[in-house]
Amino acid sequence: MSEFRIGQGSDVHRLAAGRPLIIGGVEIDSDLGAEGHSDADVLLHAITDALLGSLALGDIGSHFPNTDDRWRAASSLQFLRYAVDLVRQRGYEVVNIDSTVHLERPKLREHIDEMRERIAHTIDIEPSAISVKAKTGEAVGDVGERRALRADAVVLISKG
């Protein structure tokens, strides 16, 4: 009988001029980018936290402290790869990932499939097992007023 576990992750970054906007491993043309350590990829951080959370392995900050210069400009794809390696070392496989990015603009629709493929390639599963959804903030709050972007992710893993 298979053993299942679920994990949940969420993340937020401030938006600022003069920073790149990288979401799901894809660089997106935008007047505002994401502030933060590493490449500030809000979606990959949420998914990495969901993977770590599925096995109660702490969070991204405990594995990659933002006080550590090694991660200053790191690609968050390597955080994602690290988390999925921990999952596999414990005998689990990723069943599927569902996620939502909250960003007022630009619209992400045309980039979604590339994000899914980038994530799928990095963790070595089919793109059909990865869902990325995009929502605006309806012009209110930190997302709607373009002060921040957020991401939420849920992951299911199984063993046996």
Q: Which stretch binds Zn ion (CB under 5 A): 37-45, 48-56, 101-109, 118-126?
A: 37-45
Shortest spacing between CB 45 and Zn ion, in angstroms: 3
Per-residue DSSP letter, 56: T
Shortest spacing between CB 111 and Zn ion, in angstroms: 18
Q: Pick between residue 12 and residue 120 the one whose CB is nearest to Zn ion.
A: 12
Mark 42-71 with x for binding to Zn ion (rule: CB under 5 A) and - for no binding: ---x--------------------------
Q: Pick between residue 11 and residue 104 the one whose CB is nearest to Zn ion.
A: 11
Residues 4-33 that bind Zn ion (CB under 5 A): 11
Shortest spacing between CB 1 and Zn ion, in angstroms: 36
Cα 115 to Cα 153: distance, rounded to the nearest angstrom: 14
37 touches Zn ion (CB under 5 A): no
Token reading at 81: 């790869």
CA-based radius of gyration for the chain: 15
Shortest spacing between CB 120 and Zn ion, in angstroms: 21
Q: Pick between residue 30 and residue 92 the one whose CB is nearest to Zn ion.
A: 30
Residue nearest to Zn ion (CB): 45
Binding footprint of Zn ion on the chain (CB under 5 A)? 11, 45
